[in-house]
Amino acid sequence: MIKPHGADELKPLFVYDTEKHHALNKEAESLPSIVVNSAAAANAVMMGAGYFTPLTGYMNLADSLSVAENLQTTGGLFWPVPIVNIVDSIDGIEGAGRIALRDPNVEGNPVLAIMDVEAIEPVSAEQLSSMAEQIFGTTDAAHPGVSTFTSLGKYMLSGPIEVLNFSYFQADFPDTFRTAVEIRNEIAERGWEKVVAFQTRNPMHRAHEELCRMAMEDLGTDGILIHMLLGKLKPGDIPAEVRDASIRKMVEVYFPPNTVMVTGYGFDMLYAGPREAVLHALFRQNSGCSHLIVGRDHAGVGDYYGPFDAQTIFDERVPDGAMEIEIYNADHTAYSKKLDKVVMMKDAPDHSKDDFVLLSGTKVREMLGKGIAPPPEFSRPEVAKILMDYYQILDS
């Protein structure tokens, strides 16, 4: 199986030893504590799950600035986005060497992790803005990733962490949330060697389904990891539980047994386009995947990125040998009326737009909200029903 990024073995920061876990929970009761923001909590979950191997904790300011500008830490580790814990106030933790980090997303703010504080550094609005421009390619506050990143706070806390729980992800998505450790184990149990990952924050329609098939066939993989984001999205995006149900139904009805793993990971969407595509590749390598599908406007939002920027970054900014995972570049896929099947649009140069079944997201949402199923060339009827039920409840 493919090696993890920057390490011979996966390095999950979750404390699996029961005795040590209990001792740390008890210690946390007497430690100074702080409720972190959702972005920092998601970073802790990803580090705990082994997805962010080989990181041992949150980056300091020098590493964060270096990663934003050069895609590597000051020590030379290739990494596409800063993994940070930025807070508004350090009241109650100033001068502390060891603190408890509390979860903002779970009632009662339980302890998420214990952190050895190596540094508490002021981070200026100018530094946040500069990093945002490099990460997101813009400083426009209307960009959801920019607005979140630039409002995280004024102080950067860095140092190693020990993770004690996986926030709400394990409780809310017991059948779907999986750590990188668990995914690697299941890939090994299934006897898969070559695995392609498909990233999604949306329900999967016919085009996505066929894209997965195309990638599996073209690459000759043993299976596909459908890996959905379970964390926070922007307003208007479909909730994880609805996406989960629709994807599982599609796999159950339309894919052969033992060819698909449906799983999810606990992270908040960055909407960082090309940079996020690289992060997606990195933690899929840590999950044991040999390939990642990178499609048109991967991890994008609005018109901030070119349609294939998330593909070209791997040629332009990722040094040779920086990652072992390979990229499967995909064009926009759509149903061809001429050929009576889903194709990549680049492979049908003799087609006009009228030869494809093309529906905007807005149009699909309008149809679903009115109880009208999109055409079967666009969406499987079983998937459409789950989405119609959701939109009708939403509109009632």
Share of the chain above pLDDT 90, in %: 80
Task: State whether residue 63 is helix, strand or coil.
Answer: helix
* pLDDT tens-digit series, residues 21-75: 999 999 999 999 999 999 999 999 999 999 999 999 999 999 999 999 999 999 9
- If we measure between CA atoms, which residue out of 148, 380, 382 comes closest to residue 268? 148
pLDDT at 241 over 80: yes
- If we measure between CA atoms, which residue out of 14, 42, 54, 68 comes closest to residue 285? 54
Is 105 within 8 Å of 168 (Cβ atoms)? Answer: yes
Active-site option among 202, 213, 317, 365 = 202
Q: Where are the domains of the chain?
A: 18-170, 175-395
* pLDDT tens-digit series, residues 244-274: 999 999 999 999 999 999 999 999 999 999 9
Confidence band, pLDDT 50/70/90 cuts, at residue 181: very high
End-to-end CA distance of the chain: 49
Q: What angle, rounded to 10 degrees, do the helices at 274-286 and 309-316 form?
A: 70
Average pLDDT, the chain: 94
Token duo for residue 76: 């030379």
Q: Rounded to two decimals, what is the model's pTM?
A: 0.94
Cβ neighbours of residue 217 under 8 Å, at least 6 residues apart?
none
322: left (phi over 0), alpha (psi -120 to 50) or beta: alpha
pLDDT at 133 over 70: yes
pLDDT of residue 4: 98
pLDDT of residue 396: 62
- If we measure between CA atoms, which residue out of 211, 232, 219 comes closest to residue 344? 211
Q: Which residues of 55-77 are buried (b: 16+ CB within 10 A; e: fewer)?
A: bebbbbbebbbbbbeebbbeeeb
- If we measure between CA atoms, which residue out of 189, 168, 185, 187 comes closest to residue 177? 168
138-164 mean pLDDT: 97
* Bond from prior residue into 54 cis (ω within 30 degrees of 0): yes
Q: Is 37 a catalytic residue?
A: no
Is 145 within 8 Å of 270 (Cβ atoms)? Answer: yes
Q: Is 365 a catalytic residue?
A: no
Give the length of the chain. Answer: 396
Side chain identity at 131, as an amino acid letter? M
Cβ neighbours of residue 258 under 8 Å, at least 6 residues apart?
190, 223
pLDDT of residue 201: 85
Phi, psi (rounded to 5 degrees) for 194: -110, 120
Per DSSP (E only), the strands in 323-383 are 326-329, 333-336, 341-344, 356-357
Is 356 within 8 Å of 334 (Cβ atoms)? Answer: yes
Is 191 within 8 Å of 306 (Cβ atoms)? Answer: no
Side chain identity at 200, as an amino acid letter? T
CATH superfamily for domain 18-170: Sulfate adenylyltransferase (3.10.400.10)
pLDDT of residue 393: 78
* pLDDT tens-digit series, residues 354-369: 899 886 666 787 888 8
Query: Rounded CA gap, 390 and 393, in Å?
Result: 5
Q: Which CATH architecture has domain 175-395?
A: 3-Layer(aba) Sandwich (3.40)
pLDDT at 235 over 80: no
* pLDDT tens-digit series, residues 328-346: 999 888 889 989 988 988 8
Alpha helices (H) along 321-380: 361-369
Confidence band, pLDDT 50/70/90 cuts, at residue 394: confident
User: How many Cα atoms occupy the beta-carbon half-sphere of 250 within 13 Å?
Assistant: 30
Angle at 377 between CA 197 and CA 332, to 5 degrees: 45
Confidence band, pLDDT 50/70/90 cuts, at residue 118: very high
Active-site option among 201, 213, 317, 365 = 201
Alpha carbon distances (Å) from 172 to 42, 141, 231, 306: 15, 31, 11, 35
Side chain identity at 74, as an amino acid letter? T
pLDDT at 296 over 90: no
Is 167 within 8 Å of 112 (Cβ atoms)? Answer: yes
Token duo for residue 391: 């939109």
Side chain identity at 306, as an amino acid letter? G
pLDDT of residue 60: 98
- When mean pLDDT is compared across 47-51, 118-122, 281-285, 390-394, the lowest value belongs to 390-394
pLDDT at 159 over 90: yes
* pLDDT tens-digit series, residues 191-216: 999 999 999 988 888 989 999 999 99
Token duo for residue 175: 């059948």
Alpha carbon distances (Å) from 178 to 16, 43, 98, 273: 15, 15, 29, 24
Which residues partner with 335 through β-bridges? 342, 357
126-149 mean pLDDT: 97
